[in-house]
Structure 1
Amino acid sequence: MSQNKINIVSLGCSKNLVDTELLMKQLDANQFVVSCDEDNSDARTIIINTCGFIGDAKEESIDMILQYADAKKEGLIDTLFVMGCLSERYRDDLAVEIPEVDKFFGKFEWKSIVKELNKDYKPDFSNMRMITTPKHFAYLKISEGCNRGCSYCAIPIITGKHISRPVEEIVEEATNLAAAGVKEFLVIAQDLSYYGHDLYGKSMLAELIEKLSEVEGLEWIKLHYAYPTQFPYDILKVMRENPKVCRYLDIALQHSSDNMLSLMRRGINREQTVELINRIREEVPGITLRTTMLVGHPGETEADMEDLKAFVQEMKFERLGVFPYSDEDDTYAAIHYTDDIPQEVKEARKDEIMELQQEISRQANQARIGESMKVIIDRKDDDFYYGRTEFDSYEVDPEVLISSEDFDLKIGEMCEVEITDAEDYDLFAVVI
């Protein structure tokens, strides 16, 4: 019955999705029929897990709340809950502005949500999730929060200080996921580099990844969101020598000029950044690096932009994204700087960097033609199977397209392919 159904709308990043999956398991254990982002759902209870990181994400979250608030007014749903980052920061204001929402919850108030539904939180399921991704891979969150003080970032305000999960707890979760068919772990955290310092007094990232690689059934591990300052160099040996650890690293650098790195309070300068990138590539030959850049931050000059463009051309990152600065309440930048760079200038700077990156990506892809690579198949759509190599993460990176007319493959299957053609971002292949 629709009265017993709950549809969770999960917005924002992969870390948010993990929170959604944890809540879904609790609801499932309490005999609810629970879904995530289900189109045309007849569920009478809706829970929206919001994002509050940057302006566009906040706007998307508010639009979604208003959409379901209208649905409630029209009698299409009975109960509307809102949780997550936006709710954590602005629940009092939102409660006044959108009274149709039955209750607002913070980012981690799953027990309160379950109680509000007249059910009991079940501790035995606290480390278990309902996977919403294709069943052959899953995100694995190893910590919460962040201790860094980057000028533009509201994450520490929303989630608090860095809290590492114990190694044993993470390995237990990974073992359960692998037993359910997960072959690939996308290891995520706001700051991988700090993992372990709060619990063990030192970085434990390398030790954790080694233990995860021993989980039966696991084939790939990818690392996401390292911080360049105090980078844990011992992870590089693990990446180089352990065949289950992909030669892939997502490390957000944000900028290159000393002026901007100082204003952003990144704790690193240009020379140190170059040394870091060169050392990573030297110690892990063939590694793919994904990074993000932030443009339009207060104080960014044309000279800073020229420095950034030169840096991007020099470093030739295999994967790179750019986002324009937006003022976030209570951050250091919002308090101490003036957001005086026009939005159109920010967007133009973003486009400049992405135009450079498009050519870098095209050249890197062209160089792959003729290579044999291992691919995991994520989905089938129209005339192609879509897969990823060890150098690509889900949704954010290029895909490998394989003709479905010529080959019969299974979702979640790993196969050897030969790259036959390349576009700016995607590759084409045949199965060997």
Structure 2
Amino acid sequence: MKRKTIDIITLGCSKNLVDSEQLIRQLEEVGYDVAHDSENPVGEIAVINTCGFIGDAKEESINMILEFAQAKEEGALEKLYVMGCLSERYLKELAVEIPQVDKFYGKFNWKELLQDLGKAYHDELHIERTLTTPKHYAYLKISEGCDRKCSYCAIPIITGRHVSKPMDEIVDEVKYLVSRGVKEFQIIAQELTYYGVDLYKKQMLPELIERISDVPGVEWIRLHYAYPAHFPTDLFRVMRERDNVCKYMDIALQHISDNMLDRMRRQVTKEDTYRLIEQFRKEVPGIHIRTTLMVGHPGEAEADFEELKEFVRTARFDRMGAFAYSEEEGTYAAAQYEDEVPQDVKQERLDELMSIQQGISAEVSAAKVGQQMKVMIDRIEGDYYIGRTEFDSPEVDPEVLIQRADVTLILGNFYKVEIIDSDDFDLFAKII
């Protein structure tokens, strides 16, 4: 008898990916074959894990649901289930609008899916996952939710209050993943720096990173999605002292003008922000900072945007992304402000900001030519092995390209290279 196959499609961020990986492990345990993000879905059952963060992500999620709903109507699919952030936020509306979906689940009750398939959830496997990433790296989610009250952000509406995962459980998960061949961990949360406040009554991120760092086999730890207000400064010492903690920090700063930081309810000032960046670079020499900025938030005058451009030129971020404000219902900004910056102005500002950063990125890359660096090899693409340094997170950051012609490298292994060339974003290297 042919085992049933389930297709799981994951949209949105790496935090969603972790949920999908946990679900895949549970489904495999109860006898299903699972295909993840297959270009040509093959299963009788499909599960779409949605994103509901901003307009573009919501649109992508809805289009994907409609595409599979059509497949179901045409008889190519028996069952269609939807989970994740969009589903959490618009459960009732979606059920009415897209009746082809057999059931909508929120972000946290996806375990019920197993029950609805007539299977049991195996609690003893709660730290186990079937990785969808290359086997040498994994995303590690240390908390859910967010207690911040940023004006524009719907995440607290979707995920609720900040809930830290117990430290011992995280360390057990790391040990499990190391036993499966994982060497590199991307530490993720909606807000890393708040970790531990609910469970231990104080910020515990530095201690958690030390404990993960102590696990034999952990070669790289990289931190994502920190918040600038009340930053746990003991983390500087941990990053400086621990060789396997990458000198890398992903911290969303969003803006620099005091007017905008106040309107965004960010709980920091321009002075605080500059001081924190200076502290990072002083305390952790060689650190690479990745940030995200926003343009077009209500109230952003031309003077505010000029300040933001000057900030990008002055701070010279090693990695930077930006996006245009989109009004999200239920947020403070949607209730209190008019979305007054025209869409074409938002796009112009976004393009201008990214153009400034492109020049900086090119200079940052060019400065690495001639340096020797440790590189992790991720994959093969055309004539090149594709790798990353400790300063590069998967999917979002520059990569290191090594000609395949005269070397044979093993995926997932580390190699020492010399950087021989660069372009606007990527580096070219040779094995030493």
Q: Indicate whether the TM-score tops 0.5.
A: yes
Paired position in structure 2 for 1:81? 81
* Distance (whole Å) between structure 1 residues aligned to residue 263 and residue 124 of structure 2: 46
Q: Aligned pair in 2 of structure 1 residues 75, 353: CA closer, same or farther (>3 Å)?
A: same
- Letter in structure 1 aligned against 2:119: K
Paired position in structure 2 for 1:170? 170
Local SS of the residue matching 1:328: coil
Paired position in structure 2 for 1:395? 395
1:196-211 residue pairs with structure 2 within 5 A?
196-211=196-211
* Distance (whole Å) between structure 2 residues aligned to residue 96 and residue 3 of structure 1: 32
Q: How many angstroms does 1:28 deviate by?
A: 1.1
Paired position in structure 2 for 1:288? 288
Q: How many angstroms does 1:3 deviate by?
A: 6.0
Q: How many angstroms does 1:315 deviate by?
A: 0.4
Local SS of the residue matching 1:106: coil
Corresponding pairs, count: 432
- Residues 150-190 of structure 1 deviation map (CA, whole Å, 9 limit, x = unaligned): 00000000000000111100000000000100000000011
Paired position in structure 2 for 1:369? 369
Q: Aligned pair in 2 of structure 1 residues 426, 2: CA closer, same or farther (>3 Å)?
A: farther
Paired position in structure 1 for 2:117? 117
Q: Any unmatched runs of 5+ in structure 2?
A: none
* Distance (whole Å) between structure 1 residues aligned to residue 155 and residue 30 of structure 2: 31
Q: How many angstroms does 1:346 deviate by?
A: 0.6
Paired position in structure 2 for 1:264? 264
Aligned identity (percent) is 59
Are 1:3 and 1:44, in contact at CA under 8 Å, matched by a contact in 2?
Answer: no
TM-score (norm 2): 0.99
* Distance (whole Å) between structure 1 residues aligned to residue 274 and residue 231 of structure 2: 13
Are 1:4 and 1:43, in contact at CA under 8 Å, matched by a contact in 2?
Answer: yes
- Superposed structure 1 runs of 4+ greater than 6 Å apart: none
Are 2:3 and 2:31, in contact at CA under 8 Å, matched by a contact in 1?
Answer: no
TM-score (norm 1): 0.99
Q: How many angstroms does 1:341 deviate by?
A: 1.1
- Residues 276-318 of structure 1 deviation map (CA, whole Å, 9 limit, x = unaligned): 1100110000000000001000000000000000011000000
Local SS of the residue matching 1:21: helix
* Distance (whole Å) between structure 2 residues aligned to residue 95 and residue 120 of structure 1: 25
* Distance (whole Å) between structure 2 residues aligned to residue 275 and residue 230 of structure 1: 12
1:27-426 residue pairs with structure 2 within 5 A?
27-426=27-426
Which deviates further from its counterpart, 3-12 or 175-184?
Answer: 3-12
Are 2:374 and 2:389, in contact at CA under 8 Å, matched by a contact in 1?
Answer: yes
* Distance (whole Å) between structure 2 residues aligned to residue 76 and residue 62 of structure 1: 19
Are 1:49 and 1:83, in contact at CA under 8 Å, matched by a contact in 2?
Answer: yes
RMSD (Å), alpha carbons: 0.8
- Letter in structure 1 aligned against 2:265: R
- Residues 319-368 of structure 1 deviation map (CA, whole Å, 9 limit, x = unaligned): 00000000001000011111111111111100111000001011111100
- Residues 193-248 of structure 1 deviation map (CA, whole Å, 9 limit, x = unaligned): 10111110111111111110111211000000000001000001010110000000
Q: Any unmatched runs of 5+ in structure 1?
A: none
- Letter in structure 2 aligned against 1:392: D
- Residues 13-51 of structure 1 deviation map (CA, whole Å, 9 limit, x = unaligned): 000100111111111111111121112232010000000
Local SS of the residue matching 2:90: helix
